[in-house]
Amino acid sequence: MSALTRFFFRNELTCRSPADVIAWWETRRLPFNVAIGATGVFTYAAAQLILLMPPRPMPIAFAPSLVIALVYGVLANVCYTGGWMAELWLRKSLGRDTETVGPTLFRYGFAFSAGLTLFPIAVASLLKLSLVLKAIL
């Protein structure tokens, strides 16, 4: 089994108790934060480069961006904690047949977080495209 498979999936025999479930999630919190943080740095740099291109380069506002990034990081971790809480609630409510829900929640949450973090690139691109079209027309 590859490291990537072990990261996104789990052997259900190892997560029998609520403590095991929480431990599985928490061992992935730091890599999750590093991956989403790196995606955020990439997004910030790419969006700033897009906005600096002509026509009419737009000013870079670093301080508000830093505050937004910190708030985003805190909210991402609150939602991350909601993942293992949801898994424990589903296990209690629906029984042991829901053992695969945790890794599924993790994978979808990871993909959603990365996509949401990359979204400002699309916004900056559309903003710049509108300025280019306005200059041409």
State the pTM of this model: 0.86
Q: For the segment 71-130, what is each residue's pLDDT rounded down to a tens digit?
A: 999 999 999 999 999 999 998 998 767 778 999 999 999 999 999 999 999 998 998 998
DSSP 60: P
* Residue 9, pLDDT score: 83
Q: What is the largest CA-CA distance in the chain?
A: 64
Q: Is the pLDDT of residue 63 over 80?
A: no
The structure tokens 């600096």 sit at 52
Residue 28 CA to residue 33 CA, distance in Å, equals 9
